[in-house]
Amino acid sequence: MKPQFERVTYPSGCSLRVYNRRVSEIPFEWHHHPEYELTLTLNSRGWRFIGDHIGRYQAPDLVLVPPDMPHTWASTETLKPDEPHTAIVIWFSHKWAFQLAELCPEYSAVRRLLQNASTGLAFTPETAMHTAGQLPQLLSEVPRTRLHSALDLLVRIAGERTIHLSKNAMTVAASMDGEPTQLTRVLNHLHKRFEEPVSVHGLCKVGNISERSLHRLFVKHTGGSVSEYLCKLRIGRACMRLAETDLPVSMIAFEVGLSNLANFNRQFRRVRGITPSGYRKSFQQRGVVHEISGIEELSARPYSLDRKQKRAGKHP
């Protein structure tokens, strides 16, 4: 199922768009767009699909989706039957947000928020409820009031507790607030070429960094090893291919760099808690999906990288 491209338009003279969506149901409309999207869902429960994440939601639900990540919500019922499903959606561009953060130190937290949002973020119900209290300002007819309220909201939620949703990150930050640029180069390389054979030695050459330093930075910034991060990328892309195409599982495994089908099935089940074919079926049926947390612990290494490290007598 290929996501549809959605063109987001901005009102004349406005830096962002705030949309108050009130509908009798929220249908499954798998789509993507080049803007960030912050969505507050009210009076609704159902399922949300963010990248390769599938999970239940119940209002108040606040989620930040990065540029070009396929996503949709699909409601099952309202919390108050006599009132419509409601979604307050804020769209804004990557360029605008980062330039604002660079020019105005008061908004530097926005840059950190967006760098952290490459996998999609879900906020706590408490944060969502607090955001709902800002609706009069966010929905003001005065553009400047909407802008100020949205900026204050982004700064505030930058420090709130979040859950990463998708295994597959869609964007990589251009800078990391003073952290070594070597890691940024390595991450960019992995995101562009993760389907190819990967070795820690090769990544060290890309980043001009030692293996020890590479491992330390990965643990600090991603919470795991190089192998664990690579596995997230590969399985995340596999989830999207399973959802968007009818290609055989074996072909998708080959596409993402895990050509050994038995190993691919094992890694997929370990990370997602379901088989590849089961994931595809759940996504297609949508009404009988398995809830996926998006924050599973990874304990094993992907086969293709492990094999190369064992041959060389090295470990990431």
CATH number of domain containing 235: 1.10.10.60
Domain carrying residue 115 = 4-164
148 and 20 together in one domain: yes
What per-residue confidence (pLDDT) applies to 259?
87
185 and 152 together in one domain: no
Residues 36-49 pLDDT 10s: 999 999 999 988 88
DSSP lists the bridge partners of residue 121 as 64, 164
What per-residue confidence (pLDDT) applies to 152?
95
Lookup: tokens for 3? 């996501």
Residues 67-78 pLDDT 10s: 988 888 988 899
In terms of phi and psi (left: phi > 0; alpha: psi -120 to 50; beta: otherwise), the region of 68 is left
Distance between CA atoms of residues 278 and 262, nearest Å:
15
Distinct helix (H) and strand (E) counts, the chain? 13, 11
What per-residue confidence (pLDDT) applies to 280?
85
158 and 10 together in one domain: yes
Mean pLDDT for all residues in the chain: 82
142 and 222 together in one domain: no
Average pLDDT over residues 208-230: 83
8 and 131 together in one domain: yes
What per-residue confidence (pLDDT) applies to 247?
92
Q: Is the pLDDT of residue 11 over 90?
A: no
For residue 216, which phi and psi values (nearest 5 degrees)? -60, -45
What per-residue confidence (pLDDT) applies to 314?
40
Residues 117-135 pLDDT 10s: 988 999 999 999 999 999 9
Residues 163-185 pLDDT 10s: 999 877 764 444 444 445 677 78
What per-residue confidence (pLDDT) applies to 307?
37
134 and 197 together in one domain: no
User: Model confidence at 96, in pLDDT bands (50, 70, 90)?
Assistant: very high
In a domain, 176, yes or no: no
Residues 20-67 pLDDT 10s: 999 888 887 888 888 999 999 999 998 888 988 888 899 999 999 999
pTM: 0.61
In a domain, 175, yes or no: no
49 and 196 together in one domain: no
132 and 238 together in one domain: no
Distance between CA atoms of residues 2 and 211, nearest Å:
39
